Structure 1
Amino acid sequence: MLQMNEIPASSEMESNEIASEVDMKSLKALLDKAQERFQIPAYSVTLYKEGTYTHLSYGYRDLDGQIETDHNTLYAIGSCTKSLTVGALCTLIDKGMLSLEDRVRDYIPEFEMADYYVTDHLTVRDILCHRSGLGGHDFSWYSRLDTLTEKEVIEMFRYLPLTQPFRYKWQYSNHMYALAGYLIERVSGETWRDVLRKNILMPLGIDRVALSTSDAISDDNCAIPYILNEESDRIDAVAHADIGVMGSAGCIYMSSADLAKWDALLLNGGVYEGKQIISKALCDQMMSPQMYRDNAIIEPLKDFTQNRAYGLGLEMEIFRGRRMVYHSGHIDGFSAHQTIVPEEDIACSVLTNLGDHSGATIMSYMIVEYCLGGGEDWLEKISTFLDGVTKQQLEMIEQAKHSKPDNAPCPVELKRAEGTYRHPGYGTMEIQADLDKLVIQFGTHTFSAVHYAHQHFFLEPTNLTPNTYIETNLDIDIQGNVIAFEITFEGIKESKIRFERQ
């Protein structure tokens, strides 16, 4: 565990063809500022432009060992995995084994959702563009990955409440991409990892990729994941996340050089070194709007960005008049971003070993801005805006703390809330009383529910729920027995997750 100022100015700059050294030095200087601003231990960037790959790297992939990074270092790419999962599925579609309009239930007959109509009509396209009506529900799996099986995840769907009407609104769902992985296996008779390796990675010449955490850890050039401890302002190493049966939603480790190969394939209509790996028609589908989401544009970008949408495993927007296709990835101790600008024949991959998703994303905007010849300082604009959002969130938390009503004790002694509670989709939690708090053991994670007023509590912020309080409350019967514990995980009061006392 080291202070950030102990990181040296180690760096790598390499191109497989002659590039403008002055230009690349200037770009690297910009990226180094972002590395310093976000206190990123290491980054690796590969820029593909007009057939040329240029690599920029900086910092340590291992702080304690003082080991420098390079463009072949493996990083967890998080949800950038999703576009590769879609790519693997597209190779099966190209072979006529299924279509985007096929119903999920035709291949996974035991599949059910909370709404019977959605169960009957959900298609492959629906799950890939996040329009199923299912919200995030990430707490239903993230805290119990060490025990979940594929069968349990499929059964889970029927108990997760929908938070929007079917095909009405875009809602990001890792569950749907886990389902995409299971679909690949049902259709092909092989694991999704084997299909991906055989149909996408091998044709791209990618023979060094980790499709599981254990494979990544055993690689001798894999970055160590880190987080910034806000209280001590120190960089702490964290454990690699193993997302197991949710792997097709975000488990892949790659180098920036290899992720850029995949982006270049998409940029070139599914062709790599003269080989048609995915049909152009399906590449176009991946990079075409399926669901619009304009409300996702943050304030600093509103004068420069329009028509933000989601395709199939990829996001897109019009940035400075050009179509920009991208996806971010964020998982414990890592953040990543992949970007394609078809009109300018540009693709880039940005990988970092710090669990702050904004760093890699801002660096990608900086790269595109630089390549387009613009002069906007996105590092300053976006990071200042995000700092303001964080400050506002913290002020709201403080305001909530100080606006507690007087004389509003909990109707029952907290000891009476102790016990085991269960939701069929989210699993089991254990609750113990501790002074004015309820300590909740939820899978591998521990939360503290602080009493607010009457039967209402707030979950204290954690690294899983930074800068926010999650509303919770006890359900107490007429005899004073605690019969359930309700948590507003999705941020929608009408969609509380109710854990029944066992």
Structure 2
Amino acid sequence: MRTRLLNLALTALLTALVPAPSWAQQAPPVRVDDTMAPLSAQLPDAARLARFDDFVARVQQQFNVPGVAVAIVADGQVVMERGYGVREMGKPALVDAHTLFAIASNTKAFTAAALNMLQDDGKLKTTDRVIDHLPWFRMSDPYVTHEMRVRDLLAHRSGLSLGAGDLLYWPTTTYSTREVAERLKDVPLTGGFREQYAYDNILFGVAQLVVEQASGQSFEQFLQARIWNPLGMSETRFNSDDLKPGDNVAVGNALYDFKDLRPVGVTSWRNVSGAGGIYSSVHDMAKWMNAQLAGGVYAGSGEDAKRLFSEQRQREMWTMLTPIPVRPSSIPALAAATPNFYGYGQGWNLSDYLGNRMVWHTGGWPGQVSRLTLLPGKKVGVVVLTSAEVGAAFNAITYEALDMMLGNPGHDWLAGYAEAVAKAQGNADDSWKKHEAARDANSRPSLPLARYAGTYRDPWYGDVVIRQGAKGLELQFSKTAQLLGDISHWQHDTFIVRWRDRSLNADAFLSFRLDPDGMIRELRMVPISPLTDFSFDFQDLRLVPVAAN
């Protein structure tokens, strides 16, 4: 997946424009959960680690992040893994290295690994057509359907628009994984096949189904048996539904109405699990990073090595399939992070920093965002899990950790990301002012309000219902309980829906189009704020009235 809402929109901006840096210092003793352990590699000394701890505390304060967990690995060892802050606001329990967070779109690398492991098994090739494994699979274009390969599912180059189809499962819907995938035939393609990068989640759900078809196991069973058990990732859960009583879990927090930080409920995402949903700790994610940095080896060496996947498969996962344009940051303090190249492989972002190849991904979930970053040439990995929707926080912490591990001098990432957050918020404020300036507040709807009520149907999502509620017109997405909101008039035949769940930060304009006889021909929606997460892809809906029986 990803960061959500105010700062998920910001995360997308910052990670797209400023891939992660990497510098650091090196010395002997290191900390594992506050204990000291010798390592073969040169590592940061105690003083540098203390400065890093102080930096994380300042990031938490600047961006109002209640809980953070960080793990750093180098040369197969754990340099440090620890928590900062509290698991839940207002309660004393502290975050530690074993606290579970939603890793969201960092799940995608597990999906890519699963498919590549099945190639090692001889059960598929990532160059196979998807229809060779799922004969019922359809995109909206017959050529794309026929030519879509398994690895295309993992590379964000299908021709779908940014976040296309996300409303089929985000927020949580009642559709099954198969139903979501089957509705792809009606999701429009807005770009050419393999023409350009546009991030999606929905095709990772299809990838999950390919894993199940080829392996004969559920996706959860495959991950548990083939990845988590071998790595000893006993603290990792397939989904929030699998959290156990007594689990050490962080509570996510969101800015309600973009301003009031409060806890958010737990989200379940079983219908596109290949795109996101896993919960894990930095303790477990350190094991995952070390296996990645070792080329798939997790125990032994040489001929006796135990592997998740072959070196060839990893090379393919880390080979660029989809180039992404490099855009220098408009924030001078972040300009140093501008890469020489940027692209996407199979479930991984690929870029560089100061001559170091970087393999990384971010994740966004309601109330929780994260980042995992690898420097394969240095055998260094950093994972940052957080309990607030502030991508600037995990980026600043990641960059500071990489600085530390590469021995580079300090850089004020905190100031740079604080400026970026302020700029994004200022742009959003300006956008709303422009809407207000353009509004004709004295205008009236063309029709009596009761005429706007009814069922409206989109080819890929399904039904959206407008009805008379206790306080006036209200809107309900038929498959998404959380998308229930109250409608108010804006101007002419445009209204605003304000969702009752104020943590969504996804209020939208509703514009009705009438035919010459004054009958409603179509309803279109667009998010009001540029900070609304792209997964609320209201703009892709083509809602038409359903005739009453």
Report if the CA contact (8 A) 2:66-2:89 is conserved.
yes
- Distance (whole Å) between structure 2 residues aligned to residue 120 and residue 471 of structure 1: 37
Partner Cα separation in structure 2 for residue 64 and residue 342 of structure 1: 40
Which residue does the alignment assign to 2:544?
500
Mapping for residues 199-210 of structure 1, pairs under 5 Å: 199-210=226-237
Preserved contact between residue 475 and residue 487 of structure 2 (Cα < 8 Å): yes
Per-residue CA distance 1:378-425 (angstroms, 9 max, x = gap): 111022112212211111112211222476433222221101111131
Higher relative contact order (CA 8 A, sep 6+): 2
Q: Separation in 2 of the partners of 1:420 and 1:295?
A: 44
Q: What corresponds to 1:104 in structure 2?
A: 130
Q: Does 1:305 align with 2:338?
A: yes
Instruction: Assess if the C-alpha contact under 8 Å between 1:456 and 1:473 holds in 2.
Output: yes
Residue 222 of structure 2 corresponds to residue 187 of structure 1: no
Whole-angstrom CA distance in 2 between matches of 1:219 and 1:342: 36
Which of 40, 52, 55 aligns to 2:77? It is 52
Q: Which amino acid aligns with 2:222?
A: V
Counterparts of residues 194-343 of structure 1 (less than 5 Å): 194-229=221-256, 233=260, 235-274=261-300, 275-295=306-326, 298-300=329-331, 301-306=334-339, 307-343=341-377
- Please say if residues 76 and 334 of structure 1, whose CA atoms lie closer than 8 Å, have aligned partners that are also in contact: yes
> Among 515, 536, 540, which residue is 1:477 paired with?
515
In structure 1, the partner of 2:88 is 62
Q: Within 2, Cα distance between the matches of 1:99 and 1:487?
A: 40
Q: Go from structure 1 to structure 2 and tell me whether the alpha carbon gap of 1:438 and 1:377 turns closer, same or farther (over 3 Å shift).
A: farther
Q: Is the 8 A contact 1:330 1:356 kept in 2?
A: no
1:201-242: per-residue Cα shift (whole Å, max 9, x none)?
Answer: 112121231112122253421112222446764x42211110
**Counterpart contact for 2:220–2:238, Cα < 8 Å:** yes
Amino acid at match of 2:444: P
Q: Does the residue aligned with 2:189 lie in a helix, a strand or coil?
A: coil
CA distance in 2, matches of 1:126, 1:449: 40
CA distance in 1, matches of 2:524, 2:50: 54
In the alignment, what sits opposite 1:384?
419
Is 1:427 matched up with 2:462? yes
- Cα separation, partners in 2 of 1:491 and 1:222, compared to 1, 3 Å: closer
Which residue identity lines up with residue 456 of structure 1 in the other structure? T
Please say if residues 74 and 381 of structure 2, whose CA atoms lie closer than 8 Å, have aligned partners that are also in contact. Answer: yes
Q: How far 1:437 moved relative to its partner? A: 8.3
- 2:180 pairs with 1:153: yes
Matches within 5 A, 1:137-176: 137-143=164-170, 145-176=172-203
Work out whether residues 17 and 52 of structure 1, in 8 Å CA contact, stay in contact via their aligned partners in 2.
no
Q: Which residue of 2 aligns with 1:13?
A: 34
How far 1:150 moved relative to its partner?
A: 2.3
- Is 1:27 the counterpart of 2:61 in the alignment? no
Deviation readout 1:92-127 (Å, 9 max, x if unpaired): 011111111111111111111111111111111111
Gap change, CA 1:387 and 1:414, over 3 Å in 2: same
CA displacement, residues 73-92 of structure 1 (integer Å, 9 cap, x when unaligned): 11110100110111111110
Give the secondary structure class of the aligned counterpart of 1:147: coil
Which piece of structure 1 moves more, 84-93 or 51-60? 51-60
* Gap change, CA 1:494 and 1:228, over 3 Å in 2: closer
Q: Say which is worse superposed, 70-79 or 394-403, in terms of deviation.
A: 394-403
Contact 2:227–2:308 (8 Å) recurs in 1 = yes
Could you tell me which amino acid in structure 2 is paired with residue 85 of structure 1? T
Q: Which amino acid in structure 1 is aligned with residue 384 of structure 2?
A: V
How far off its partner does 1:460 sit? Answer: 5.2
Provide the rounded CA distance (Å) in 1 between the counterparts of 2:497 and 2:464.
14
**Residues 165-224 of structure 1: CA deviation (Å, up to 9, x unaligned):** 110111111101111111100111111111111111112121231112122253421112
Q: Report the counterpart of residue 3 of structure 1 in structure 2.
A: none
Secondary structure, aligned partner of 1:67: coil
CA gap of 1:291–1:232, structure 2 versus 1, over 3 A, is closer
Q: Distance in 2 between matches of 1:15 and 1:251?
A: 33
1:52 CA drift (Å): 2.5
Q: Runs of 5+ in structure 1 lacking a partner?
A: 1-10
Q: Give the alignment's TM-score, normalised by structure 1.
A: 0.90
Between the aligned partners of 2:540 and 2:83, the Cα distance in structure 1 is: 45
**What aligned pairs does 1:101-140 form with structure 2 within 5 A after superposition?**
101-135=127-161, 136-140=163-167
Q: Which amino acid aligns with 1:63?
A: M
Conservation of the 8 A alpha-carbon contact between 1:397 and 1:469: no
1:299 Cα offset (Å): 2.7
* AA of the residue aligned to 2:518: G
Measured against aligned partners, the alpha-carbon deviations of 1:359-386 in whole angstroms (never above 9, x if no partner) come to 2233212211232313221111022112
> Is contact 1:16–1:52 with CA below 8 Å preserved after alignment?
no
SS at 1:294 equivalent: coil
* Distance of aligned partners of 1:337 and 1:55 in 2 relative to their CA distance in 1, 3 Å threshold: same
2-structure distance, mates of 1:428, 1:493: 15
The separation in 2 between residues aligned to 1:231 and 1:288, in whole angstroms, is 38
Amino acid at match of 1:152: E
Q: Shift of residue 470 of structure 1?
A: 4.5
Conserved 8 A contact 1:31-1:363: yes
TM-superposed deviation, 1:471: 4.8
Alpha-carbon distance between aligned partners in 2 of 1:491 and 1:278, rounded to the nearest angstrom: 32
Q: How many residues align?
A: 490
Q: Which amino acid aligns with 2:511?
A: N
1: CA distance between counterparts of 2:537 and 2:207?
Answer: 29
SS of the aligned residue for 2:86 comes to strand
List runs of 5+ in structure 2 lacking aligned partners.
Answer: 1-31, 301-305, 528-533
Q: Kindly, what percent of the aligned residue pairs are identical?
A: 27
Secondary structure of the corresponding residue to residue 313 of structure 1: coil
* 410-419 or 83-92: bigger deviation: 410-419
1:415 aligns with 2:450: yes
Q: CA RMSD in A?
A: 2.8
